[in-house]
Amino acid sequence: MSAFALLLTMTFSALPKAPPPPATPKNPVVDEYHGQKITDDYRWLENWDDPAVRQWSDAQNARARALLDKLPNRDAIEARITGLLSWQSPIYSGLRYRGGRLFVLKMQPPKQQPFIVQVGSLQDTSREKVLVDPNAIDPSGGTSIDFYEPSLDGRYLAVSLSKGGTESGDLHLFEVESGRELSGDTVPRVNSGTAGGSIAWNGDGTGFWYTRHPAPGERPKEDLGFYQQVWFHKLGTPVEKDVYALGRTEFPRIAETELHTSPDGRHVVAVVQKGDGGEYEVFLLDVKKKSWTKLATWEDGIKHAEFGLDGALWALSRKDAPRGKIVRIPLDTPTLDKAQVVVPEGEANIVDFELTPKMLYVVEQLGGPSRLRRFELTGALLGAVKTLPVSAVSGVERYVGDDVLYTNVSFIEPRAVYRFDAVNDATVRTAMAQTSAADFSDAEVVREEAVSKDGARVPLSIIKPKKLKLNGKNPALLTGYGGFNIPITPSFNPLVRVWLDQGGVYAVANLRGGGEFGEAWHQAGAKTQKQHVFDDFLACAKHLVQRKYTSANKLAIEGGSNGGLLMGAAMTQAPKQFGAVVAHVGYFDMLRYETRPNGAFNNTEYGSVKDEAEFKALWAYSPYHHVQKGTKYPPALFMTGANDPRVDPLHSRKMVAQLQAAGAPAFLRTSAGTGHGGGTPLSGKIAEAVDGCAFMFAALGVPWKMPPPAPKPSAP
């Protein structure tokens, strides 16, 4: 008998009986939109300052815990997930090469948060030097890095630190050589959970431009979370002496700004996004002249800009090129009418690029997976850089000469940092490589297409055991996102192994609204076209069933943020297609989402109730408004963080109240010490994964098979 046949198997068929939901009074409020009156029974749950709301939330948490803590096989599931996510192999990201020094963000379980190291050798991680470690600053694990930026000469590090998942970050300055913090140079409120944050050092490392919202007194109280501006801070001077640079009148209320300095320190570029919908303006600073010039308007289609080493600003443009083109703008005559197209629009969607003295490296999307190609600065194609099959390339960073560093990861091979040797046309895997307790040597990735309601073909990546029988009896987890022009790329998730161990499959849908095929694909799932996203996802679910990967009662769905909205729409539009739902930090009341600060940033993507056509589209799919009594909904777990600055937890509260009033098995889990996901400590990620996985397995009636012993770590 094989070892697999001897595995201990435990079976169960349904969720345990849960306590009844807490009483949830209906206090109707009637709103009128474009002549249509709509009743909101649970408006009162929006007010987190109301003690009654907090008591209700606590009662919901207690009810959820009463269920989650007694789920079948929970201890075994917790042990497996803890082993996978606590595997003591580092994960490297956020590469920066400045002044001959290489800086990297490193996540090293069992530490709770990533920290910054200086890499001494690409092939010897023992020579790393820890520079800034939030785990040492705050042993509770509640402090995290929002972003960091070294000075051009590599002498200093600017690091935004925030607490409790709030993403409200203060900028701290550190001297690289000594590791000491420059205590008098802390700049408050540089990062926010709505507009993010950015800095750009000046050429000699004596100061930097940074983003911040207005200070109290500069604008009315209701505007203090908006109107991001650019200021300049000189090292060694009080923050009160900082100098305003740009944004008070030039930027929109929902500005989100990215700053970059040219390698010679002579110019700074500010790429300003109007909310999250993908419209940008570009401003250029001539440092010597101390003057800013508007280089591009919203209509010009510039999405990203970087300085080359050739006296030019290079930009990704989608003007008359929905899949993108790369243009070169000479800095001696910085106007768009002088821009030269270097890489024209092609079959793939351009998403990023990096410049070296003689080469241009371009990252392109191919419907989910990506590729990395290199060109001469004239635009002549030199060829593709070797990458993993069905994989994602990210974080391309200029290194020595024309070499670059980049990360590459697939669904079944962990993330590693690679060096491309331009002289020898060779790819070298560095020692900055993750290993995993999850062995996927018995698995494969299958790329298929589902056909959506209107005939659109929707890519689908399916990770499954190579010898899986397609009999319609396998448990499956389907996830997706579909929004904000964000492509969903291959990533290594050790928790996929949990599904494969139970004879299941894991599927990732590349939906319209994302950036997999360019701006046309994005716009086909935005604003009044948002229903296409849900149609695409439901088509992917049907595809999995029709191809006998699974059946409806064995299919779970999970998603977060915009993907949480997707979960709400999917379960209200097609409740019979799923056996379980897990929604993280999602929007659900689409008529009220823009009443909160980050909602204003999002209405460039979703639309606004102020516009009649957009209101009708929002109303047509708003999950909260389409819960029906008498409908049998699948068991659903809603997870949110009390400190979420991006999607207010009110959405999860109201959605759960509505579902419970309709008799649905819906549960609400609110974490007191986390937010939207950024900054969540390792222990919090493990706890969420255990609750979600155990819930889905119980709801689907999945037999639990004890997995084989974990392999020993292998050298990278």
Q: Are 443 and 516 members of one domain?
A: yes
Q: Are 515 and 653 members of one domain?
A: yes
CB 369 within 8 A of CB 391: yes
pLDDT for 586 equals 97
Is the bond preceding 110 in cis, omega lying within 30 degrees of 0? Answer: yes
State CA 32 to chain mean position distance: 35
Q: Are 549 and 677 members of one domain?
A: yes
User: The tokens of 469 are what?
Assistant: 């029988």
Domain assignment of residue 467, yes or no: yes
> Burial level of 316, CB count in 10 A (0-12/13-18/19+)?
buried
Q: Are 428 and 461 members of one domain?
A: no
> Burial level of 703, CB count in 10 A (0-12/13-18/19+)?
middle
pLDDT for 710 equals 53
Domain assignment of residue 185, yes or no: no
Q: Are 454 and 406 members of one domain?
A: no
pLDDT in tens, 483-542: 999 999 999 999 999 999 999 999 999 999 999 999 999 999 999 999 999 999 999 999
The answer, yes or no, to whether residue 453 has pLDDT greater than 90, is yes
pLDDT for 706 equals 79
Q: Which residues of 57-68 are buried (b: 16+ CB within 10 A; e: fewer)?
A: bebbbebbeebb
Using CA atoms, how far apart are residues 685 and 82, in angstroms rounded to an integer? Answer: 10
CB 170 within 8 A of CB 283: no
**Mean pLDDT on 420-429:** 97
User: The tokens of 365 are what?
Assistant: 């999307």
With cut-offs at 50, 70 and 90, classify the pLDDT of residue 447.
Answer: very high
- Element containing residue 174 per DSSP (H, E): strand 169-175
Using CA atoms, how far apart are residues 113 and 131, in angstroms rounded to an integer? Answer: 14
Q: Is 586 in a helix, a strand, or coil? A: coil
* Boundary-marking domain end, from 434, 469, 504: 434
What phi and psi, each to the nearest 5 degrees, are found at residue 505?
-130, 160
Domain assignment of residue 140, yes or no: no
Domain assignment of residue 227, yes or no: no
Q: Are 363 and 445 members of one domain?
A: no
Domain assignment of residue 482, yes or no: yes
The answer, yes or no, to whether residue 1 has pLDDT greater than 70, is no
Q: Are 471 and 497 members of one domain?
A: yes
Strands (E), 195-242: 199-201, 207-212, 229-234
Using CA atoms, how far apart are residues 66 and 19, in angstroms rounded to an integer? Answer: 7
CA dihedral 304, 308, 311, 312 (to 10 degrees): -30
The answer, yes or no, to whether residue 201 has pLDDT greater than 70, is yes
Q: Are 428 and 556 members of one domain?
A: no
DSSP conformational letter for 498 = H
Q: Are 31 and 52 members of one domain?
A: yes
pLDDT for 11 equals 35
Domain assignment of residue 505, yes or no: yes
Percent of the chain past pLDDT 70, that is, above it, reads 97
Please count the CA atoms within 13 angstroms of the CA of 173 that sit on its side-chain side. 24
Q: Are 533 and 616 members of one domain?
A: yes
pLDDT in tens, 316-364: 999 999 999 999 999 999 999 999 999 999 999 999 999 999 999 999 9
* Boundary-marking domain end, from 434, 467, 500: 434
- Element containing residue 98 per DSSP (H, E): strand 91-98
Q: How many domains does one find in the chain?
A: 2
Rg of the chain taking only CA atoms, in angstroms: 25
DSSP conformational letter for 123 = T
Q: Are 587 and 575 members of one domain?
A: yes
Domain extent for 28:
7-84+438-705
Pairing type for strands 476-479 and 555-560 reads parallel
Domain assignment of residue 623, yes or no: yes
Using CA atoms, how far apart are residues 203 and 201, in angstroms rounded to an integer? Answer: 7
CA dihedral 684, 690, 692, 694 (to 10 degrees): -160
- Element containing residue 581 per DSSP (H, E): strand 580-584
Report, as residue numbers or ranges, the catalytic residues: 561, 676
Q: Are 490 and 378 members of one domain?
A: no
Closest residue by Cα to residue 642 from 666, 612, 669: 669
Using CA atoms, how far apart are residues 64 and 59, in angstroms rounded to an integer? Answer: 9
DSSP conformational letter for 413 = S
pLDDT in tens, 234-264: 999 999 999 999 999 999 999 999 999 999 9
- CA distances, 244 to each of 125, 189, 218, 239 (Å): 42, 15, 12, 11
User: The tokens of 613 are what?
Assistant: 């056509």
End-to-end alpha-carbon separation of the chain, Å? 34
pLDDT for 630 equals 93
* Boundary-marking domain end, from 434, 467, 488: 434
Domain assignment of residue 99, yes or no: no
pLDDT for 640 equals 97
Pairing type for strands 404-410 and 391-398 reads antiparallel
pLDDT for 179 equals 93
pLDDT in tens, 566-575: 999 999 999 9
> Burial level of 439, CB count in 10 A (0-12/13-18/19+)?
middle
pLDDT for 101 equals 97
pLDDT in tens, 626-641: 999 999 999 999 999 9
With cut-offs at 50, 70 and 90, classify the pLDDT of residue 2.
Answer: very low
Put residue 142 in one of left, alpha, beta given phi > 0 → left and psi -120 to 50 → alpha: alpha
Quick count: other Cβ atoms within 10 Å of Cβ 380?
9
pLDDT for 533 equals 98
Indicate which CATH number applies to the domain containing 29. 3.40.50.1820
Using CA atoms, how far apart are residues 284 and 262, in angstroms rounded to an integer? Answer: 11
Amino acid at 597: P
pLDDT in tens, 365-401: 999 999 999 999 999 999 999 999 999 999 999 999 9
pLDDT in tens, 89-123: 999 999 999 999 999 999 999 999 999 999 999 99
Using CA atoms, how far apart are residues 473 and 549, in angstroms rounded to an integer? Answer: 7
Give the mean pLDDT of the chain: 95
